[in-house]
Structures are given as C-alpha cells and as structure tokens.
A and B are shown apart, each in its own frame.
Chain A
Amino acid sequence: KNEVEQSPQNLTAQEGEFITINCSYSVGISALHWLQQHPGGGIVSLFMLSSGKKKHGRLIATINIQEKHSSLHITASHPRDSAVYICALDRGSQGNLIFGKGTKLSVKP
C-alpha cells in the first residue's frame, strides 16, 4: 500500500467551478506540502501545513492530522490553474519528501 494516495487522478472542470483534491496518508508526518507542477516540469510550492488551514488567494489547504487527510481547494477555477497538483509528506528527517502521484487538473474555458 502506498504511503500517500491522491484522488482523483484526473479532474476536468469548467471555468468558475469549485475544485477539491484529496490526499490521504498512512504514516506520521511533521508537515504536508501541496505543490503545483506545470507541463514544463517546474514545481511551485503552494502550501506547507502541519495543522489546520491555510489560504492564499483562491487556494485553500486543510489538514486533519488525526484522520491523516488533507484537501486542496480552488475557488473560482480558471484555465491557468490547469496543472498537476501533488501532495508530499514531510517526515521531518533528511529531506525525504514522499510524493503522491499527483492529480492532473484541466480547467476548460
């Protein structure tokens, strides 16, 4: 069983829709990262969470440590949000982030 699972694997939405991407994990962590990867490959760090909720513009990330679950929400989605969204587990030691396989989001105009 993978230590981190994301759902859905692929997501297509219409512009303006509210989007939720989920991440479940099975190990203890010190923090969870949400990352965005565009087709060119570069990764942008969106959030690092250890508890509760963070908001940045139209992006909201939540984490429930007891349930080992995190969600990334995008409000009023836009075609420029199209990317792969990856959650990564930070176990706090030696830089070994454990990455999910990503959710490929496509927002249609």
Chain B
Amino acid sequence: ETGVTQSPTHLIKTRGQQVTLRCSSQSGHNTVSWYQQALGQGPQFIFQYYREEENGRGNFPPRFSGLQFPNYSSELNVNALELDDSALYLCASSSGGPSNYGYTFGSGTRLTVV
C-alpha cells in the first residue's frame, strides 16, 4: 500500500474526554512522527516512533501518548482533552534512511475540542 492514511479526518470531542487518532503508513516505513498544527501556525513535533518504541519527544505533556504496531500503523492518544488541543494532527512516515523526499505526510485529522 502506498501513501499515508489518517483517520478520522474530522472529530469533535468534549473537554475532558479521551481521543485516539490513527495513522496507516506505507509498507516498509518503520518510522512515524506525529505533529500538532494549530490554526495559522507551523506543525509542532509531538513524538516519533521507530520500530514500535518512542524515539524522541517534543514539548508535550504525558497525556499525549502513542503506539506503533508491526503492520506500520500507529496511534496518537490524548487524555483529558483541553480546548487548546483543538488542532490539525499530522503523521509523517519514513523508511528511516535517506530518500529523495524523506517523509510522506498524511492528510491529517482535524480535532475540535468543545
């Protein structure tokens, strides 16, 4: 399978709830990174997973957590949602080695917290 698929595309949650966002990467892409993009801003790095283990983390609290599975899919979980968590969440995958374009991005999940 080619490309990176994210689901759902849009989601509305209530403050305090929990959410799981999903990303299905290209076959062979063993590295996945998650980013949060607030309106009008550039994406901010949340964390990266490599071969099912967290391999780096940005400045996000522990209520942001993730999982990566052997079938090249991954999840971003956010607990105790806050209004400021409303954003576009992007995942990007790579094979971990050099390539012409480096990363393949998904189309994102737009999360609205009310």
Contacts and interface: CB of A to CB of B under 8 A. Distances in A.
B102 A94 contact: no
A86 B107 contact: no
Contact of A95 (B33, B40, B44, B99): B33
Interface string A18-55: 00000000000001010100001111111110000000
B41 to A, nearest CB: 6
Contacts of B102: 31, 33, 45, 48, 90
Nearest to B31: A95
A48 B101 contact: yes
B104 A100 contact: no
Contacts of B56: 93-96
A3 to B, nearest CB: 11
A84 to B, nearest CB: 9
A45 B94 CA distance: 12
Contacts of B43: 43, 86, 88, 97, 99
Measured as residues with beta carbon below 8 angstroms from the partner, the interface class of chain B is 20 to 34
Interface string A61-84: 000000000000000000000000
Which 6 A-B pairs give the minimum distances between C-beta atoms? A94-B56, A95-B48, A99-B42, A42-B107, A95-B33, A43-B105
17 contacts: A31-B102, A33-B102, A35-B105, A40-B107, A43-B43, A45-B104, A45-B105, A47-B101, A86-B42, A88-B42, A94-B48, A94-B55, A94-B56, A96-B45, A97-B35, A98-B45, A101-B41
Interface of A: 31, 33, 35, 40-48, 86, 88, 90, 93-102
Interface of B: 31, 33, 35, 37, 40-45, 48, 55-56, 58, 88, 90, 92, 94, 99-108, 110
